[in-house]
C-alpha cells in the first residue's frame, strides 16, 4: 500500500504523525510525508524509511488569516502536484486546514480512502468552512479528534475516534523527573511549545515577576508574542522569568527533568477552550503536576483525574494558590493518579491502532 501523510507544518511540530507512520511502517507500506518548511530554524529529521516532499515557503503563524491565504494556495498547488504524480492508496490528513484546502480532491477522488486528523478548532466560525469540515468527515474512512470536547461541533457518526497526543517512546523515560527531589525552591514552572496568547501570559508574568518562590521558563518559537514577552521582561528587570528559545522534540528530556510544574494555561477562547495540548500528556507521562486555565476542558480533565490544578490567572491570589497547591501535593497519590489517567489513555490509543490496522487491511472500521 502506498500512503501519503499530508502534514501542514514542520516535522518538529507534528509529533502526532508518528501514531500513523508507525502503524503504516509495521505493515510495510510505502510511506510518503509532505511537510511544510515554514522557516529556516533547525527541524527534526524525517523518520527513517519514508519518502519526503518539502513545501518550502516562509510563513509566520501569528498573523491574521488574510496574511496566510497566498501561502495556503501555494501549498494546495504543491500538494495537488504530489497527488497527481503518485498513485496513493490512502491519504492521512494531519490537520483540518489542509483537508479543507484539498477537500474537492479528497471527497471526489479519495472518498473513504483518507483518514482525517482533526487537531484544532481553526476557522469553523465561518459557516462555509464548517460545512466543508462536515463533508470531509462524512467521506473519510475515519476521523480522529484530539479532544473529545470537539465532538459537539462535528457530525454524529460512528467512525469518529479519539486521538491522544501521547508519544509512546516517552514511556521509556517516565522516571526522569519522578526520581529527583520534589522539595525544590524556587518552584520551576515551565512552558514548552509555540509561545502565543500574549494577554494571558502577560498576566501570568506580572503575577510571578520577581517572586522568589518561583521561576518561569519558556521554551519554543518566539515570534511576535514571544519576542514581546521577552522584551517586556528585560525592560521590567524581571529576574526569575527566562526565555530559552526553540528546541527539538528529542531535547525536551533535558528540561523536563528539571520541571516542577507545567505551565499549560491558554486563553479560554473559541480555539483553545476545548483543546487538549501535548503538554497535558507530557505531565501524565513524566509525573509532573500541571497548571491549566479554570473553565477550560483541559482544566476539567486535570480536576477529574487529580493531576494538577485549574486556576484563574486574574485572581489576586494566583501566585499564592500555585504555591499552596504545590506544597500540599501527596506525591504517592499524585503518581497513582497519573498512572490511572495514562492507562485509560493507552486503552483508547490501542483502539486507534486497531482502527488504522483495519483500514490498512481494507476492512470496514465500524
For 2-163, CATH number out of 3.40.50.300, 3.40.250.10, 3.40.50.2000, 3.40.50.150 equals 3.40.50.2000
The residue written with cell numbers 501570559 in the block is 201
Q: pTM of whole model > 0.75?
A: yes
For 169-343, CATH number out of 3.40.50.2000, 2.60.40.2130, 3.40.50.80, 3.20.20.70 equals 3.40.50.2000
Instruction: Dump pLDDT digits (tens) for 46-72.
Output: 999 999 999 999 998 878 889 999 999
Question: What ranges do the domains of the chain cover?
Answer: 2-163, 169-343
Query: What stretches in the chain show pLDDT beneath 50?
Result: none
Q: What is the pLDDT of residue 122?
A: 79
Q: What is the pLDDT of residue 362?
A: 85
Q: What is the pLDDT of residue 327?
A: 98
Q: What is the pLDDT of residue 364?
A: 65
Instruction: Dump pLDDT digits (tens) for 179-194.
Output: 999 999 999 999 999 9
Amino acid at each position: 500500500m502506498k500512503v501519503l501523510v499530508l502534514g501542514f507544518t514542520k516535522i518538529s511540530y507534528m509529533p502526532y504523525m508518528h501514531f500513523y507512520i508507525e502503524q503504516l511502517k509495521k505493515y510495510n507500506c510505502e510511506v510518503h510525508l509532505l511537510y511544510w518548511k515554514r522557516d529556516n530554524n533547525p527541524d527534526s529529521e524525517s523518520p527513517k524509511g519514508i519518502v519526503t516532499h518539502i513545501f518550502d515557503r516562509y510563513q509566520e503563524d501569528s498573523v491574521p488569516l488574510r496574511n496566510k491565504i497566498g501561502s495556503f494556495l501555494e501549498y494546495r498547488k504543491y500538494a495537488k502536484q504530489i497527488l497527481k504524480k503518485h498513485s496513493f492508496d490512502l491519504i492521512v490528513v494531519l490537520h483540518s486546514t489542509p483537508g479543507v484546502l484539498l477537500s474537492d480532491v479528497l471527497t471526489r477522488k479519495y472518498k473513504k480512502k483518507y483518514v482525517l486528523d482533526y487537531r484544532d478548532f481553526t476557522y469553523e466560525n465561518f459557516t462555509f468552512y464548517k460545512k466543508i469540515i462536515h463533508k470531509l468527515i462524512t467521506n473519510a474512512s475515519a476521523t480522529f479528534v484530539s479532544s473529545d470536547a470537539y465532538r459537539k461541533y462535528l457530525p454524529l457518526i460512528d467512525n469518529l475516534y479519539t486521538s491522544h497526543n501521547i508519544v509512546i517512546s516517552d514511556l521509556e523515560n517516565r522516571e526522569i523527573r519522578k526520581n529527583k527531589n520534589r522539595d525544590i525552591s524556587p518552584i520551576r514552572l515551565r512552558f514548552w511549545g509555540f509561545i502565543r496568547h500574549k494577554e494571558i501570559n502577560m498576566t501570568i508574568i506580572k503575577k510571578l515577576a520577581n517572586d522568589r518562590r518561583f521561576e518561569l521558563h519558556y521554551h519554543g518559537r518566539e515570534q511576535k508574542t514571544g519576542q514581546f514577552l521577552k522584551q517586556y521582561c528585560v525592560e521590567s528587570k524581571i529576574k526569575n522569568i527566562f526565555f530559552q528559545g526553540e528546541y527539538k522534540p528529542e531535547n525536551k528530556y533535558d528540561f523536563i527533568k528539571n520541571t516542577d510544574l507545567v505551565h499549560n494555561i491558554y486563553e479560554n477562547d473559541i480555539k483553545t477552550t476545548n483543546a487538549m495540548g501535548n503538554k497535558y500528556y507530557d505531565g501524565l507521562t513524566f509525573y509532573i503536576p500541571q497548571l491549566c486555565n479554570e473553565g477550560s476542558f483541559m482544566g476539567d480533565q486535570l480536576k477529574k483525574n487529580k493531576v494538577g490544578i485549574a486556576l484563574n490567572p486574574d485572581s489576586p491570589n494566583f501566585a499564592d494558590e500555585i504555591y499552596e497547591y504545590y506544597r500540599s501535593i501527596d506525591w504517592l497519590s499524585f503518581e497513582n493518579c497519573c498512572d490511572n489517567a495514562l492507562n485509560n489513555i493507552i486503552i483508547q490509543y490501542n483502539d486507534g491502532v486497531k482502527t488504522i490496522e483495519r483500514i490498512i487491511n481494507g476492512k470496514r472500521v465500524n
